[in-house]
Amino acid sequence: MSTSADRYHHGDLRAALLAAAVETLEAGETFSLRAVARRAGVSATAPYRHFPDRRALDSAVAVAGFQDLRSDLVDALGALPGSSAPVEVIATLGTAYVEFALRRPAVFRLMFGNECDDADSERVQAAEELHDLLHRVLERLFPGTAVSDLSTALWSTAHGLAFLHLDGKLRPEPLSEVTDRVRASVVAIFGLGAAAAASPAHE
């Protein structure tokens, strides 16, 4: 007699389990290998073919989340006119980042809820690819400038806004208000930077 897990072949079982894991998280249900198996409609032992324990499943969901977030950021950049000003480009990235967090809060929290284990190379790489994207964008916008500190500052701003909305410290809706808030924050950062650069140095 075939089991429900036998319906899945090759990589389909892993993909089905990841989809079920995300659904379980977003539904606020108890998150376990058994619960994920039940939602995916497979036997309780089927997840162990791909994930030896809950931690491995967490990591896989986080990796998929990082990849999806990066894809959203790339799509947001692709929709911008080539002549867009740096502030507009960065505001667009920040908005896409916060919108992802609001659209997929449980996955977002899992992605950043634990420190990346250096031994988990796939998760570390997925996180680094996200940071590398921002770094490359800033290098293109500000050629010849050391952008590491700016990259950290802008990521911290978007990340902080995301969690302020998720934690209810800022209104998470309507979405147009969220977008305006993110853009205003980016404009404020660059405005202060420009003002500081233009001000005479104090002796």
Domains of the chain plus CATH, in order, are 1-52 (1.10.10), 54-198 (1.10.357.10)
Work out the pLDDT band at 197, boundaries 50, 70, 90. very low
Please give the DSSP secondary-structure letter assigned to residue 175: H
pLDDT, one tens digit per residue, over 6-56 is 455 545 888 999 999 999 998 888 889 999 999 999 999 999 888 999 889
Q: What length does the chain have?
A: 203
Residues 58, 114: Cα–Cα separation, whole Å: 10
Question: 58, 25 in Cβ contact below 8 A?
Answer: no
Write the single-letter amino acid at 55.
Answer: R
pLDDT for 2 equals 40
pTM for the model: 0.85
Of 9, 51, 8, nearest to 32 (Cα)?
51
Q: Which residue is associated with the tokens 């039940």?
A: 38
Question: 187, 87 in Cβ contact below 8 A?
Answer: yes
pLDDT, one tens digit per residue, over 89-104 is 999 999 999 999 999 9
155 pLDDT more than 90: yes
pLDDT, one tens digit per residue, over 58-113 is 999 999 999 999 999 999 999 999 899 999 999 999 999 999 999 999 999 999 98
DSSP labels, 117-183: PTT-HHHHHHHHHHHHHHHHHHHHHSTTS--HHHHHHHHHHHHHHHHHHHTTSS---SHHHHHHHHH
Please give the DSSP secondary-structure letter assigned to residue 4: G
Residues 46, 40: Cα–Cα separation, whole Å: 10
